[in-house]
Amino acid sequence: MPLPPLVTAGAGRGRLRALRRHLRNSPGRCHHPSSLTLWEGRDAEQLSRWLREHPGVEIVCRDGLLTYRQGIIAGAPEAIQISDRFHMWQGLSRRVQDIAA
């Protein structure tokens, strides 16, 4: 059975750690490093186009940049999006500050 392609949008150890943590906690999945692609662009249209040219991407690990979210939704709408720990806590902190204000 072929391994599902995985993408991490942007460079950074945090996104790679988040992706590895997700894969460890995904029962029944076996991934090989060759199925991982590190995409370093910063443009939603380029990411969207790349994802359409590489169908079958199931998981995308990204930072909090809205551009990545837009590109992933346009190019691979059914892909699971994973946030790295830093950006998850940063977003939660901002939301709590908004509510408390």
pLDDT tens digits for the chain (101 residues)?
454 555 655 545 566 666 666 666 554 444 444 566 766 777 889 889 988 988 888 888 787 788 889 999 999 999 888 877 777 788 889 999 999 98
- Gap between the Cα atoms of 6 and 72, Å rounded: 12
Q: Which two tokens stand for residue 82?
A: 């994973």
CB 80 within 8 A of CB 26: no
- Gap between the Cα atoms of 47 and 57, Å rounded: 12
User: In one letter, which amino acid is 58?
Assistant: E
User: In one letter, which amino acid is 65?
Assistant: L
- Gap between the Cα atoms of 101 and 93, Å rounded: 12
Per-domain residue ranges of the chain: 6-100
